[in-house]
Structure 1
Amino acid sequence: MKTQRAIQEHAMRLFTERGYDATTVADIAAAAEVSSMTVFRHFPTKEDLVMADEYDPVIIDAIRARPADEPLLRRIGAALVETTADHDVADRAILLARLRLGLSVPALRERMWDGQYRSQCRIVEALRGESPDPDVEFELWVATGACLAAVSAALIRWAEHDGEEDLPGLMTTALDLLTATPPSGITRRQP
């Protein structure tokens, strides 16, 4: 895990300094003082150097640790905020670099949204139980998708402001909008 983290930190630094396309796996291996084979053992593709993370199991554990009778949006949203609040300075630096690269490099942007969908699948699977009721499963899909979309909007804003805003606070604000009355000037369609 230590080697994997070091490789990813060097990759993010080099991608930021030189650009994603201009940085080779050999460059990253040299900076991390490992072989290219070691890089590929930890990260099968160049895109994985940016997009690979271990957040889903942590998020799922945080959701499961919340009260089961808590409203679903709050349960999922609070777990997402809690896990982000636990990030140290190094984790946030990597997250900021990942977001910037993910938003600016088309292949990475595609992987970023694919990763969000995979996260949604894993969270729904973890919450639905062994024999899910189709209506409950649909509710899980909607709530999880809404929470992830709100958090994504907060992450994008945070990245656009160079990581200087309070990320857990932005996430909380975004999640609160899911249940808030629309601001003036915005009207909801009546059924």
Structure 2
Amino acid sequence: MSLRERKKARTKTEIQRQALRLFREQGYQATTVEQIAEAAEVAPSTVFRYFATKEDLAVLDDYYSLADATAAALAAQPAELGPVPALRGALRALFDDLSPEERAARYERDVLMVTVPELWAANLGLFAKGREILRDQLAKRAGRDPDDPAVRAVADAMVGIGYGVLFDWAKNPQGDPIAALDRTLGRLADGLAL
């Protein structure tokens, strides 16, 4: 990226970061574009240059997205690994490569998505896209069709576990959610015996 493109990306990220902070602190409905602009130290017109509407600030497709990186990390796992160990290895590699700041921003993003109703609603498409990416990668690894019921069941179990860990962590943000996700996926690999 050129210097100009990097500066634009930083500005966009900062605007959205401040919007999310304000949504968390005072609620989505109570937050104005003018407040977001002031917090991001830009003009309201700059906010609208990057985000056509206030609702667009709630869509987190590009805000610390790990979709492509997760797909690449999963594809890079050894072929002999089953689906659960491959996903665990991919997530470990992915989060080990993040700086503490990137990790914290990602965690905050995910917690806000499940605790602010407007963010949840605005990002349902993002959840569906993540599910599809995981299903497609698992199918590719297994040499099966993505619509194979077994592939769908494994992918949906993994996605469900991910959301469960995220919901639990949002209620009690102690510890590392990736470590909790890894432990819980380990239970899936063990066959969920009680």
With normalisation by structure 2, the TM-score equals 0.76
- The number of residue pairs the alignment matches comes to 180
Counterpart of 1:66, as a letter, is: Q
Secondary structure at the residue paired with 1:177? helix
Separation of aligned partners in 2, 1:170 and 1:20: 29
The answer for the alignment partner of 2:80 in structure 1 is 69
The answer for the alignment partner of 2:6 in structure 1 is none
Separation of aligned partners in 2, 1:165 and 1:58: 23
1:128 is displaced (CA, Å) by 4.2
Residue 6 in 1 paired to residue 14 in 2? Answer: yes
The answer for the alignment partner of 1:93 in structure 2 is 104
Separation of aligned partners in 1, 2:184 and 2:50: 34
CA shift digits 1:46-91 (9 cap, x unpaired): 3443423321011111111111221012212332343234333333
Q: Which residues of 2 match residues 1-191 of structure 1 at below 5 A?
A: 1-50=9-58, 51-52=60-61, 53=63, 54-126=65-137, 128=139, 133-134=144-145, 137-162=148-173, 164-180=174-190, 181-183=192-194
Separation of aligned partners in 2, 1:91 and 1:3: 16
Runs (5+) with no aligned partner, structure 2: 1-8
Runs (5+) with no aligned partner, structure 1: 184-191
Identity level (%): 29
Separation of aligned partners in 1, 2:20 and 2:148: 37
Secondary structure at the residue paired with 2:189? coil
Mapped contact 1:101–1:108 kept (Cα < 8 A): yes
Separation of aligned partners in 2, 1:15 and 1:135: 37
Mapped contact 1:81–1:171 kept (Cα < 8 A): no
